[in-house]
Structure 1
Amino acid sequence: MTRQEKGLWATVIVLIACLLSICGWIWFSGIVSKEDIPPSPGFSPAVASIQDRLITDDEWVDELKKRYGREMLMTLLNRQAVELEAEQMAITVTGAELEAELAVMSRSYGSKERFFSEMEEQLGITEEELRTETNYRLILEKIATDDIRIENEQIDAYLEQYPDQYLPKRQMNLSIIEVASEAEGNQVMDRLEDGEDFAQLATEVSLDEYSREEGGQIGFVEEDDPFIPQTLLDAALELDPGDIAGPISLTDTYAVVYVQEIIKPQAPSEESIRESVRKQLALEQSVSLTELEHRLREKYEARILTGTVTL
C-alpha cells in the first residue's frame, strides 16, 4: 500500500468516523433534550460564546444537519439495512476474520499496534472505530459475494498472471531535505556531519513543502512507491536504518535522505493469499458495494421522514 493509497483509505475512514460520531451525538442530544430534560419553550442552552453573542445548542445542531444531515442519515440507514440483510442471510464476521483483515490492513505499518497508534495519532481514528468500520465492510462484502463461486483454477490463473502482487515489500521510514543545487546539498551534508539535527535543518532549509513542517519526514513508503523519485528510492535502498545519503539528483533539485527505519513484512501464508485472491475475484463479479447499499435500502423500505433531506 503506497503512501497515497494509505492517505486515500484513511480519508474515507476519517469521514465515516466523523459522520458516525456527529450522527451519534445528534441522536443522543435529540433524545436527551426532548425526553429526559423538562421542556422549556423557546429556550436552547448556549454551547459557545464570542464577546456578548451566544451560540445555542439548536443553532449548532441545525448547522450540523444542514452540512452533514443527508450523509449521516444515509450512513445510519445503510448500517440498519445491512444488519437486517445479514440477519436474514445468517451472515456474521468472526473474531478471527476481523483480526485477519486488520492484519492485512496493517501489514505495511509493521504491526497492528503501530497501525492503530498511527491512525489515532495522525488522524484521530480510534481502534474501536477502525474495528467497527472494518467489520461493517466485511459483512457487506460477504453479502455481495454470497452467491458467487470462484474455482481454484481461476485463483491459479490469477496468481500465474500476477505472481508478485502478494509478495511482501520493504517499508522505509524516510525523511528528506530538498535543496536547489548540488552545492547546497553538500553544505547540508557537512552540517549534518558536524552534528546538526536533521529535523531542525529540514525545517530551516528544505524546499519540500509537504515534509518541511514535519522536520523532513515523509513517513513509510514501499520500496517501489511510484510517487517517490526512483533515484531517491535507489539511494535509500542501499542504506541501513540511521544512515544518511546525499546529495541525490532529482528532476530539478537535489535531496539528502535519512532512513529512520526499515520494516520487512512477513510473507503471508499461501492460504491467506489464495483467500485474498478469491475475495478479490468475487468482488469483481459482484455489484458494487455502494449499489448494494442502495438496493438494500430499497428492499427494507428506507425512508427519510423530513422534507429537508431526500434519499
Structure 2
Amino acid sequence: MTRQEKGLWATVIVLTACVIGMGGWVLFSGIFSQEASPSLKDGSLAVASIQDRAITEDEWVDELKKRYGREMLMTMLNRQAVALEAKAKGIDITTAEVDAEIDVMSRSYGSKERFLSEMENQLGITEAELRMETTYRMLLEKIATSDVYIEPQQIDAYLELYPDQFRPKKQLNLSMIEVASEDEANQAMDRLENGEDFAALASEISLDEYTREEGGQIGLIEEDDPFLPPALLDAALELEPGDIAGPISLTDTYAIVYLHDIIEPKAPSEDKIREAVRKQLALEQSISLSELERQLREKYEARISAGTVTL
C-alpha cells in the first residue's frame, strides 16, 4: 500500500467515522441532562453559550441535519439494507476474517500495533471504528461477489501475469534533512559526526516543511516508493540501520538521510494469495459497491420521509 493509498483509505474511514459520530450525537442528544443544560422558554436545552446568547440543542441538531443529515441517513439505510441481504443470503464476517484483513492493511506500516497507533494518533480513528468499517466493507464485498465464480485457471493466469504483486516489499523507516546547498549539507554532516542529534538538527535547519516539525521523520516508505526522490531512495537502500548518508543532490536542494530501521514483512501463504486474487477478480466482474448499496436500498424499500432532510 503506497502512501497515497494509505491516505485514500484513511480519508474514507475518517469521513465515515465523522458521519457516524455526528449521527450518534443527533440520535442520542438526549444525554444532555436538565441539570447540565437548563431549558429555555421554548423547552429546548442550551448546549452552549457566548456572552448572553444561548445555542440550543434544537439549533445544533438542525444545523447538523442540514449539513450531514442526508449522509447520515444514507449510511444508516445502507447498513440496514446490507444487514438484511446478508441475513437472507446467510453471509457473515467472522472476527478472524476482520483480524486477517487488518493484518493485510497493517503490512505496509511494519506492524499491526504501529498501524493502529497511527490511525488513532494521527487520524483519531479508534480500533473499534476501524473494525466496524472494515467489517461493513467486507460484508458488502461478500454480497457483491456471492454469485461470481472464478475458475482456478483464471487465478493461475493472473499470478503468471503479475508474479510480484504479492511479494512483500521492504519498509524503510527514514528521516531526512533538506538544505539549500552542498556546503550547508556538508556542515550539517560535520555537526552530526560531532554528536549532534539528527532530529534536533532537522528541526533547526531542514527546509522540508512536512518533516521539519517531526524532527525530519519521513516514516515508513516502501523500497520502490514513487513519491520519494530516486536519489534519496537509492542512498537509503545502501544503508544499514543507524547509518546516515549525505550530501545527496536533489533537484534544487541537498539532503541527508538517516535510516532508523528496515522491516521485511512476512510473505502471505499461497492459499491467502490465491484467495486475494479470487476476490479481486470477482470484484472486477461484479457491480460497484456503491451501486450494490443503491440496489439494496431499493430492494428493501428504503425511504426518507419528506421534509426530514434536504435531498
TM-score bin, normalised by smaller chain: over 0.9
- The residue that corresponds to 1:50 in the other structure is 50
- The residue that corresponds to 1:305 in the other structure is 305
AA matched with 1:170: K
- The residue that corresponds to 2:96 in the other structure is 96
1:185-206 deviations in whole A, cap 9, x for unaligned? Answer: 1111112222222222222221
114-123 or 138-147, which moves further after superposition?
114-123
64-73 or 141-150, which moves further after superposition?
64-73
Alignment of 1:23-38 (within 5 A): 23-29=23-29
Q: Is the 8 A contact 2:39 2:46 kept in 1?
A: no
- The residue that corresponds to 2:187 in the other structure is 187
- Secondary structure of residue in 2 paired with 1:242: coil
80-89 or 200-209, which moves further after superposition?
200-209
- Secondary structure of residue in 2 paired with 1:224: coil
Q: Is the 8 A contact 1:304 1:310 kept in 2?
A: no
- Secondary structure of residue in 1 paired with 2:274: helix
Q: Is the 8 A contact 2:40 2:46 kept in 1?
A: no
Report the CA distance between 1:55 and its aligned residue: 2.3
AA matched with 2:284: E
Alignment of 1:1-311 (within 5 A): 1-29=1-29, 42-307=42-307, 309=309
1:171-197 deviations in whole A, cap 9, x for unaligned? Answer: 111111111111111111112222222
- Secondary structure of residue in 2 paired with 1:252: coil
Report the CA distance between 1:249 and its aligned residue: 1.0
89-98 or 40-49, which moves further after superposition?
40-49
- Provide the C-alpha distance between the structure 1 equivalents of 2:298 and 2:31, rounded to a whole number of angstroms: 27
Report the CA distance between 1:305 and its aligned residue: 1.4
Report the CA distance between 1:310 and its aligned residue: 5.2
Q: 1:149 to 1:193 in 2, by over 3 A?
A: same
Q: Is the 8 A contact 1:3 1:220 kept in 2?
A: no
Query: TM-score, normalised on structure 2?
Result: 0.94
144-153 or 259-268, which moves further after superposition?
259-268
1:81-135 deviations in whole A, cap 9, x for unaligned? Answer: 1001111111101222111111111111222222112211111111111111101
Let me know the Cα RMSD of the aligned residues.
2.1
1:220-270 deviations in whole A, cap 9, x for unaligned? Answer: 110001111111111111112222111111111111111122211001101
Report the CA distance between 1:293 and its aligned residue: 0.6
AA matched with 1:75: T
5+ residue gaps in structure 1? none
- Provide the C-alpha distance between the structure 2 equivalents of 1:173 and 1:183, rounded to a whole number of angstroms: 26
Q: Is the 8 A contact 2:39 2:45 kept in 1?
A: no
- Secondary structure of residue in 2 paired with 1:101: helix
- Provide the C-alpha distance between the structure 2 equivalents of 1:30 and 1:297, rounded to a whole number of angstroms: 29
- Secondary structure of residue in 1 paired with 2:294: helix
1:27-51 deviations in whole A, cap 9, x for unaligned? Answer: 1115988xxx999761322222333
AA matched with 2:260: Q
Q: 1:269 to 1:47 in 2, by over 3 A?
A: same
- Share of identical aligned residues, percent? 75
- Provide the C-alpha distance between the structure 1 equivalents of 2:53 and 2:253, rounded to a whole number of angstroms: 52
AA matched with 1:89: K
5+ residue gaps in structure 2? none
Query: TM-score, normalised on structure 1?
Result: 0.94
Q: What is the aligned residue count? A: 309
